[in-house]
Amino acid sequence: MEYPAVFLKPEVHSLAKKYVTPEVFEEHKNKKTSRGYTLLDCMQSGIQNLDSDTGLYAGDEECYTAFGNVLDNIVEDYHAPYKIADGHTPDMNPDHLNCPNPDPEGKYIRSTRIRVARNLKGYGLAPNLGKQERLDIERKVVEVLTSLTGDLAGKYYPLQGMDEATRQKLVDDHFLFKKGDRFLESAGCNKEWPEGRGIYHNDAKTFLVWINEEDQLRIISMEKGSDIGSVFRRLCKAVNEIDAKLGFQHSPGLGYITSCPTNLGTGMRASVHVKIPKAHAHPDFKAICDKYHIQPRGIHGEHSESTGEDAGVYDISNRRRLGLSEVRCVQDMYDGLMKLLEIEKS
Ligand code: ADP
Ligand code: ARG
Protein backbone atom coordinates (compact mmCIF):
# COMPACT_ATOMS: atom_id res chain seq x y z
CA MET A 1 0.00 0.00 0.00
CA GLU A 2 1.56 3.23 -1.22
CA TYR A 3 1.10 6.80 0.05
CA PRO A 4 -1.09 8.54 -2.57
CA ALA A 5 1.43 10.56 -4.58
CA VAL A 6 -1.32 12.91 -5.86
CA PHE A 7 -1.47 14.35 -2.33
CA LEU A 8 1.92 15.93 -2.99
CA LYS A 9 0.41 18.17 -5.69
CA PRO A 10 0.29 21.79 -4.50
CA GLU A 11 -3.39 22.25 -5.44
CA VAL A 12 -4.49 19.63 -2.86
CA HIS A 13 -5.50 21.40 0.34
CA SER A 14 -7.75 18.80 2.05
CA LEU A 15 -7.74 18.00 5.74
CA ALA A 16 -6.89 14.42 4.74
CA LYS A 17 -3.67 15.65 3.13
CA LYS A 18 -2.90 17.88 6.12
CA TYR A 19 -3.14 15.08 8.69
CA VAL A 20 -2.16 11.99 6.69
CA THR A 21 1.46 12.85 6.02
CA PRO A 22 3.66 10.16 4.40
CA GLU A 23 5.00 9.28 7.88
CA VAL A 24 1.52 9.03 9.42
CA PHE A 25 0.35 6.93 6.46
CA GLU A 26 3.29 4.56 6.92
CA GLU A 27 2.41 4.12 10.59
CA HIS A 28 -1.27 3.22 10.04
CA LYS A 29 -1.47 1.80 6.50
CA ASN A 30 -1.72 -1.86 7.54
CA LYS A 31 -4.43 -1.37 10.17
CA LYS A 32 -8.01 -2.48 9.48
CA THR A 33 -11.29 -2.03 11.35
CA SER A 34 -13.18 -5.21 12.25
CA ARG A 35 -15.28 -4.59 9.15
CA GLY A 36 -12.09 -4.55 7.05
CA TYR A 37 -11.80 -0.82 6.32
CA THR A 38 -8.36 0.80 5.95
CA LEU A 39 -7.10 4.37 6.14
CA LEU A 40 -6.51 4.29 2.38
CA ASP A 41 -10.18 3.27 1.88
CA CYS A 42 -11.25 6.29 3.97
CA MET A 43 -9.07 8.55 1.79
CA GLN A 44 -10.39 7.43 -1.63
CA SER A 45 -12.74 10.40 -2.11
CA GLY A 46 -9.95 12.90 -1.46
CA ILE A 47 -7.55 10.99 -3.71
CA GLN A 48 -10.00 10.97 -6.62
CA ASN A 49 -11.26 14.53 -6.02
CA LEU A 50 -8.26 16.77 -5.58
CA ASP A 51 -10.49 19.78 -4.83
CA SER A 52 -11.88 18.11 -1.66
CA ASP A 53 -11.97 20.19 1.50
CA THR A 54 -12.16 17.28 3.92
CA GLY A 55 -11.25 14.45 1.56
CA LEU A 56 -12.14 11.53 3.81
CA TYR A 57 -15.18 9.43 4.77
CA ALA A 58 -15.47 6.79 7.51
CA GLY A 59 -16.57 3.32 6.38
CA ASP A 60 -17.69 2.41 9.89
CA GLU A 61 -17.73 3.84 13.40
CA GLU A 62 -14.44 2.15 14.29
CA CYS A 63 -12.60 4.20 11.63
CA TYR A 64 -12.88 7.17 13.99
CA THR A 65 -10.53 5.45 16.46
CA ALA A 66 -8.63 2.83 14.44
CA PHE A 67 -5.96 5.01 12.82
CA GLY A 68 -4.26 6.70 15.76
CA ASN A 69 -5.17 10.39 15.97
CA VAL A 70 -5.77 10.91 12.25
CA LEU A 71 -9.54 11.25 12.37
CA ASP A 72 -9.52 13.05 15.74
CA ASN A 73 -7.24 15.67 14.19
CA ILE A 74 -9.49 16.11 11.17
CA VAL A 75 -12.60 16.33 13.37
CA GLU A 76 -11.04 18.88 15.73
CA ASP A 77 -9.72 20.96 12.83
CA TYR A 78 -13.11 21.14 11.06
CA HIS A 79 -15.09 21.64 14.28
CA ALA A 80 -12.55 23.95 16.02
CA PRO A 81 -12.39 25.06 18.78
CA TYR A 82 -14.20 21.87 19.92
CA LYS A 83 -12.02 19.21 21.57
CA ILE A 84 -13.29 15.62 21.58
CA ALA A 85 -12.37 15.34 25.27
CA ASP A 86 -14.83 18.18 26.01
CA GLY A 87 -17.81 15.95 25.20
CA HIS A 88 -20.86 16.81 23.15
CA THR A 89 -24.16 17.73 24.84
CA PRO A 90 -27.45 17.55 22.91
CA ASP A 91 -30.56 19.69 23.33
CA MET A 92 -33.60 18.93 21.22
CA ASN A 93 -36.08 20.82 23.35
CA PRO A 94 -37.92 23.23 21.02
CA ASP A 95 -38.91 25.38 24.01
CA HIS A 96 -35.26 26.42 24.33
CA LEU A 97 -35.19 27.98 20.86
CA ASN A 98 -35.50 31.75 20.46
CA CYS A 99 -36.15 32.29 16.76
CA PRO A 100 -39.20 34.51 16.20
CA ASN A 101 -40.28 34.40 12.56
CA PRO A 102 -37.55 36.44 10.77
CA ASP A 103 -39.73 37.32 7.76
CA PRO A 104 -43.45 37.10 8.58
CA GLU A 105 -44.37 39.00 5.40
CA GLY A 106 -42.52 36.46 3.25
CA LYS A 107 -40.50 39.08 1.38
CA TYR A 108 -37.14 37.34 1.56
CA ILE A 109 -37.43 33.76 2.80
CA ARG A 110 -38.97 31.11 0.56
CA SER A 111 -38.63 28.03 2.72
CA THR A 112 -37.06 26.55 5.84
CA ARG A 113 -35.57 23.07 6.27
CA ILE A 114 -33.77 21.30 9.11
CA ARG A 115 -32.24 17.86 8.74
CA VAL A 116 -30.25 15.49 10.91
CA ALA A 117 -28.10 12.55 9.84
CA ARG A 118 -28.33 9.22 11.66
CA ASN A 119 -26.93 5.68 11.32
CA LEU A 120 -28.14 2.45 12.94
CA LYS A 121 -26.08 0.68 15.56
CA GLY A 122 -24.59 -2.62 14.43
CA TYR A 123 -23.99 -1.66 10.78
CA GLY A 124 -21.22 -0.06 8.76
CA LEU A 125 -21.56 3.42 7.27
CA ALA A 126 -22.60 4.12 3.66
CA PRO A 127 -19.13 3.74 2.05
CA ASN A 128 -18.75 0.23 3.50
CA LEU A 129 -22.22 -1.35 3.35
CA GLY A 130 -22.97 -4.58 1.51
CA LYS A 131 -26.12 -4.94 -0.55
CA GLN A 132 -27.89 -7.19 1.98
CA GLU A 133 -27.07 -4.86 4.87
CA ARG A 134 -28.41 -1.91 2.95
CA LEU A 135 -31.65 -3.79 2.29
CA ASP A 136 -31.91 -4.80 5.98
CA ILE A 137 -31.50 -1.19 7.06
CA GLU A 138 -34.14 -0.06 4.57
CA ARG A 139 -36.60 -2.68 5.88
CA LYS A 140 -36.01 -1.84 9.57
CA VAL A 141 -36.29 1.90 9.05
CA VAL A 142 -39.39 1.68 6.88
CA GLU A 143 -41.06 -0.54 9.48
CA VAL A 144 -40.60 2.13 12.13
CA LEU A 145 -41.50 5.06 9.87
CA THR A 146 -44.75 3.49 8.69
CA SER A 147 -45.80 3.07 12.34
CA LEU A 148 -45.69 6.85 12.92
CA THR A 149 -49.00 8.66 13.32
CA GLY A 150 -50.51 12.16 13.15
CA ASP A 151 -48.60 14.68 11.02
CA LEU A 152 -45.66 12.24 10.78
CA ALA A 153 -47.75 9.52 9.12
CA GLY A 154 -46.74 8.89 5.53
CA LYS A 155 -45.59 6.41 2.91
CA TYR A 156 -42.29 5.01 1.69
CA TYR A 157 -41.32 5.52 -1.94
CA PRO A 158 -38.36 3.31 -2.95
CA LEU A 159 -36.10 4.66 -5.69
CA GLN A 160 -36.01 1.25 -7.32
CA GLY A 161 -38.93 1.22 -9.77
CA MET A 162 -39.86 4.90 -9.28
CA ASP A 163 -40.76 6.45 -12.65
CA GLU A 164 -38.26 9.02 -13.90
CA ALA A 165 -40.73 11.95 -14.05
CA THR A 166 -41.76 11.43 -10.40
CA ARG A 167 -38.13 11.16 -9.29
CA GLN A 168 -37.07 14.27 -11.17
CA LYS A 169 -39.99 16.29 -9.82
CA LEU A 170 -39.13 15.30 -6.24
CA VAL A 171 -35.53 16.43 -6.85
CA ASP A 172 -36.56 19.70 -8.56
CA ASP A 173 -38.95 20.49 -5.71
CA HIS A 174 -36.06 20.07 -3.21
CA PHE A 175 -37.48 16.96 -1.52
CA LEU A 176 -35.29 14.15 -2.84
CA PHE A 177 -31.52 13.61 -3.08
CA LYS A 178 -29.83 13.29 -6.45
CA LYS A 179 -27.58 10.33 -7.19
CA GLY A 180 -24.58 10.88 -4.92
CA ASP A 181 -22.07 13.31 -6.41
CA ARG A 182 -18.48 12.51 -7.45
CA PHE A 183 -17.32 12.78 -3.82
CA LEU A 184 -19.81 10.15 -2.65
CA GLU A 185 -19.24 8.07 -5.80
CA SER A 186 -15.53 7.70 -5.10
CA ALA A 187 -16.19 7.14 -1.39
CA GLY A 188 -18.21 4.06 -2.43
CA CYS A 189 -21.65 5.35 -1.37
CA ASN A 190 -23.33 4.79 -4.74
CA LYS A 191 -22.82 1.03 -5.03
CA GLU A 192 -25.79 -0.97 -6.39
CA TRP A 193 -27.72 2.26 -6.93
CA PRO A 194 -30.73 2.65 -6.63
CA GLU A 195 -31.43 -0.55 -4.68
CA GLY A 196 -32.12 0.00 -0.97
CA ARG A 197 -32.51 3.76 -1.40
CA GLY A 198 -35.71 5.74 -1.11
CA ILE A 199 -37.71 8.47 0.56
CA TYR A 200 -40.48 8.40 3.15
CA HIS A 201 -42.74 11.42 3.44
CA ASN A 202 -46.07 12.61 4.79
CA ASP A 203 -48.71 13.92 2.38
CA ALA A 204 -47.81 17.55 2.98
CA LYS A 205 -44.11 16.77 2.38
CA THR A 206 -43.23 18.59 5.59
CA PHE A 207 -41.67 15.51 7.18
CA LEU A 208 -39.33 13.39 5.08
CA VAL A 209 -36.70 10.73 5.61
CA TRP A 210 -34.04 9.85 3.05
CA ILE A 211 -32.86 6.26 3.30
CA ASN A 212 -29.34 5.09 2.39
CA GLU A 213 -27.83 8.14 0.78
CA GLU A 214 -24.64 9.60 2.36
CA ASP A 215 -25.97 8.43 5.72
CA GLN A 216 -28.47 5.67 6.39
CA LEU A 217 -31.07 8.22 7.51
CA ARG A 218 -31.49 11.90 6.85
CA ILE A 219 -34.49 12.98 8.90
CA ILE A 220 -35.94 16.19 7.49
CA SER A 221 -38.55 18.73 8.53
CA MET A 222 -39.34 21.49 6.03
CA GLU A 223 -42.03 23.90 4.97
CA LYS A 224 -42.63 26.99 2.87
CA GLY A 225 -42.05 30.31 4.63
CA SER A 226 -39.93 31.11 7.65
CA ASP A 227 -41.58 29.64 10.74
CA ILE A 228 -38.33 28.15 12.06
CA GLY A 229 -39.94 27.21 15.39
CA SER A 230 -42.60 25.09 13.67
CA VAL A 231 -40.00 23.29 11.54
CA PHE A 232 -37.78 22.59 14.55
CA ARG A 233 -40.69 21.40 16.72
CA ARG A 234 -41.78 18.87 14.08
CA LEU A 235 -38.20 17.65 13.68
CA CYS A 236 -37.69 17.19 17.43
CA LYS A 237 -40.89 15.20 17.75
CA ALA A 238 -39.98 12.95 14.80
CA VAL A 239 -36.36 12.39 15.81
CA ASN A 240 -37.26 11.60 19.41
CA GLU A 241 -39.88 9.05 18.31
CA ILE A 242 -37.58 7.39 15.76
CA ASP A 243 -34.62 7.44 18.17
CA ALA A 244 -36.64 5.53 20.77
CA LYS A 245 -37.36 2.72 18.29
CA LEU A 246 -34.07 2.42 16.38
CA GLY A 247 -30.74 2.70 18.23
CA PHE A 248 -28.34 5.12 16.56
CA GLN A 249 -24.51 5.08 16.48
CA HIS A 250 -23.35 7.63 19.00
CA SER A 251 -20.31 8.40 21.15
CA PRO A 252 -19.81 10.91 23.98
CA GLY A 253 -17.05 12.82 22.16
CA LEU A 254 -18.32 12.61 18.57
CA GLY A 255 -22.08 12.76 19.14
CA TYR A 256 -24.05 11.04 16.37
CA ILE A 257 -21.73 9.14 14.06
CA THR A 258 -21.86 10.05 10.36
CA SER A 259 -19.90 8.93 7.30
CA CYS A 260 -18.48 12.42 6.72
CA PRO A 261 -16.59 13.98 9.65
CA THR A 262 -18.23 17.34 8.91
CA ASN A 263 -21.64 16.01 9.96
CA LEU A 264 -20.66 14.52 13.34
CA GLY A 265 -22.27 15.70 16.56
CA THR A 266 -25.79 16.88 15.91
CA GLY A 267 -25.74 15.79 12.25
CA MET A 268 -27.80 18.91 11.81
CA ARG A 269 -28.09 21.38 8.95
CA ALA A 270 -30.72 24.08 9.45
CA SER A 271 -31.27 26.20 6.37
CA VAL A 272 -33.44 28.78 4.69
CA HIS A 273 -33.75 29.60 1.02
CA VAL A 274 -33.50 33.37 1.12
CA LYS A 275 -33.30 36.10 -1.52
CA ILE A 276 -30.33 38.26 -0.58
CA PRO A 277 -28.69 39.52 -3.82
CA LYS A 278 -27.33 42.68 -2.17
CA ALA A 279 -26.01 41.04 0.97
CA HIS A 280 -24.39 38.35 -1.18
CA ALA A 281 -22.61 40.97 -3.28
CA HIS A 282 -21.41 42.85 -0.17
CA PRO A 283 -17.60 42.84 0.12
CA ASP A 284 -17.84 41.53 3.70
CA PHE A 285 -20.21 38.64 2.82
CA LYS A 286 -17.63 35.93 3.42
CA ALA A 287 -16.35 37.52 6.61
CA ILE A 288 -19.91 37.77 7.96
CA CYS A 289 -20.59 34.12 7.12
CA ASP A 290 -17.40 33.12 8.95
CA LYS A 291 -18.16 35.31 11.95
CA TYR A 292 -21.68 33.92 12.34
CA HIS A 293 -20.68 30.32 11.54
CA ILE A 294 -22.99 30.11 8.55
CA GLN A 295 -22.44 28.60 5.13
CA PRO A 296 -23.95 29.69 1.79
CA ARG A 297 -24.93 27.16 -0.89
CA GLY A 298 -26.83 27.39 -4.19
CA ILE A 299 -30.46 26.35 -3.87
CA HIS A 300 -30.16 23.03 -5.66
CA GLY A 301 -28.10 21.47 -2.91
CA GLU A 302 -24.43 21.27 -2.08
CA HIS A 303 -22.04 22.36 -4.84
CA SER A 304 -24.90 23.99 -6.81
CA GLU A 305 -25.16 27.58 -8.09
CA SER A 306 -28.19 29.88 -8.01
CA THR A 307 -28.99 30.96 -11.56
CA GLY A 308 -31.89 32.05 -13.78
CA GLU A 309 -35.08 32.88 -11.89
CA ASP A 310 -33.35 31.72 -8.70
CA ALA A 311 -30.49 34.21 -9.06
CA GLY A 312 -29.91 35.95 -5.74
CA VAL A 313 -31.59 33.18 -3.73
CA TYR A 314 -29.20 31.30 -1.47
CA ASP A 315 -29.30 28.39 0.92
CA ILE A 316 -27.97 29.75 4.23
CA SER A 317 -27.24 27.22 6.98
CA ASN A 318 -25.29 26.59 10.17
CA ARG A 319 -21.73 25.43 9.59
CA ARG A 320 -20.95 24.07 13.08
CA ARG A 321 -22.52 20.77 14.15
CA LEU A 322 -20.31 19.26 16.86
CA GLY A 323 -19.75 20.57 20.39
CA LEU A 324 -22.92 22.65 20.35
CA SER A 325 -26.53 21.61 20.85
CA GLU A 326 -29.18 21.23 18.16
CA VAL A 327 -30.87 24.34 19.55
CA ARG A 328 -27.59 26.28 19.18
CA CYS A 329 -27.15 25.03 15.56
CA VAL A 330 -30.53 26.51 14.62
CA GLN A 331 -29.69 29.65 16.60
CA ASP A 332 -26.42 30.03 14.62
CA MET A 333 -28.35 29.92 11.36
CA TYR A 334 -30.90 32.40 12.74
CA ASP A 335 -28.34 34.92 14.04
CA GLY A 336 -26.38 34.86 10.77
CA LEU A 337 -29.58 35.13 8.76
CA MET A 338 -30.73 38.17 10.77
CA LYS A 339 -27.40 39.89 10.07
CA LEU A 340 -27.66 39.17 6.33
CA LEU A 341 -31.25 40.44 6.25
CA GLU A 342 -30.15 43.63 8.03
CA ILE A 343 -27.56 44.23 5.30
CA GLU A 344 -30.01 43.36 2.53
CA LYS A 345 -32.57 45.85 3.84
CA SER A 346 -30.05 48.65 4.29
P1 ADP B 1 -28.16 18.25 2.90
O2 ADP B 1 -28.99 19.33 3.46
O3 ADP B 1 -28.78 16.93 3.16
O4 ADP B 1 -26.75 18.37 3.35
P5 ADP B 1 -28.14 19.41 0.17
O6 ADP B 1 -27.44 20.68 0.44
O7 ADP B 1 -27.66 18.65 -1.04
O8 ADP B 1 -28.08 18.33 1.32
O9 ADP B 1 -29.68 19.73 0.00
C10 ADP B 1 -30.60 18.71 -0.25
C11 ADP B 1 -31.88 19.23 -0.84
O12 ADP B 1 -32.57 20.00 0.12
C13 ADP B 1 -31.67 20.11 -2.05
O14 ADP B 1 -32.67 19.82 -3.01
C15 ADP B 1 -31.89 21.49 -1.51
O16 ADP B 1 -32.39 22.38 -2.49
C17 ADP B 1 -32.95 21.22 -0.46
N18 ADP B 1 -32.99 22.27 0.58
C19 ADP B 1 -32.03 22.60 1.45
N20 ADP B 1 -32.41 23.62 2.24
C21 ADP B 1 -33.66 23.96 1.85
C22 ADP B 1 -34.61 24.95 2.26
N23 ADP B 1 -34.35 25.78 3.27
N24 ADP B 1 -35.80 24.99 1.61
C25 ADP B 1 -36.08 24.13 0.61
N26 ADP B 1 -35.24 23.18 0.18
C27 ADP B 1 -34.04 23.09 0.77
N1 ARG C 1 -16.15 15.27 0.56
C2 ARG C 1 -16.37 16.62 0.17
C3 ARG C 1 -15.14 17.44 0.51
O4 ARG C 1 -14.27 16.94 1.16
C5 ARG C 1 -17.62 17.20 0.80
C6 ARG C 1 -17.62 17.27 2.32
C7 ARG C 1 -18.82 17.90 2.98
N8 ARG C 1 -20.04 17.53 2.34
C9 ARG C 1 -20.73 16.41 2.54
N10 ARG C 1 -21.80 16.20 1.83
N11 ARG C 1 -20.37 15.53 3.45
O12 ARG C 1 -15.02 18.57 0.09
Q: Is the CB of 86 under 6 A from ligand 2?
A: no
Q: Do residues 56 and 43 make contact, with C-beta atoms less than 8 angstroms apart?
A: yes
**What's residue 310's pLDDT?**
86
Kindly report, residue by residue over 119-166, the tens digit of the pLDDT: 999 999 999 999 999 999 999 999 999 999 999 999 999 999 999 999
Ligand 2: which of 262, 297, 320 to mutate, judged by most atoms within 8 Å of the beta carbon? Answer: 262
Distance (angstroms) between ligand 1 centre and the Cα of 179 equals: 14
The CATH number of residue 49's host domain is 1.10.135.10
**What's residue 308's pLDDT?**
83
Residue 23 domain-assigned?
yes
- Higher per-residue pLDDT: 302 or 271: 271
Per-residue pLDDT averaged across 335-343, rounded?
98
Rounded to the nearest 10 degrees, how much is the dihedral formed by the CA atoms of 39, 44, 45, 47? 110
Q: Do residues 144 and 248 make contact, with C-beta atoms less than 8 angstroms apart?
A: no
Residue 71 domain-assigned?
yes
Q: In Å, how far from its chain's centre is CA 119?
A: 12
Q: How many domains does the chain fold into?
A: 2
**What's residue 80's pLDDT?**
93
Q: Is the CB of 51 under 6 A from ligand 2?
A: no
Residue 88 domain-assigned?
no
φ/ψ of residue 297, rounded to 5: -135, 165
Output the average pLDDT for the chain: 96
Residue at which a domain ends, from 31, 46, 78: 78
Q: Which domain holds residue 53?
A: 5-78
Looking at the structure, tell me whether residues 212 and 154 fall in a common domain: yes
pLDDT of 100 > 90? The answer is yes
Pick from 108-112, 118-122, 307-311: least confident = 307-311
Per-residue pLDDT averaged across 255-263, rounded?
98
In 10 A of CB 55, how many CB atoms? 29
> pTM for this one?
0.97
Measured CA to CA, the distance from residue 35 to residue 128 in angstroms comes to: 8
Beta carbons within 8 Å of 133's beta carbon, 6+ residues apart: 123, 124
Distance (angstroms) between ligand 2 centre and the Cα of 14 equals: 10
Looking at the structure, tell me whether residues 113 and 166 fall in a common domain: yes
**Buried/exposed 262-296: b ≥16 CB within 10 Å, e otherwise:** bbbbbbbbbbbbbbbeebbeeeebeebbeebbbbb
pLDDT of 304 > 90? The answer is no
| 303 confidence band (pLDDT: 50, 70, 90) | confident
Kindly report, residue by residue over 203-249, the tens digit of the pLDDT: 999 999 999 999 999 999 999 999 999 999 999 999 999 999 999 99
pLDDT of 83 > 90? The answer is yes
- The residues annotated as belonging to the active site are 115, 214, 218, 260, 262, 269, 297, 302
Residue at which a domain ends, from 44, 78, 112: 78
| Cis ω before 81 (30° cut-off from 0) | yes
Tell me what percent of the chain is helix, strand and coil, each rounded to the nearest 5. Answer: 40, 15, 45
Please, what sign has the CA dihedral across residues 190, 194, 195, 197? positive
Looking at the structure, tell me whether residues 42 and 148 fall in a common domain: no
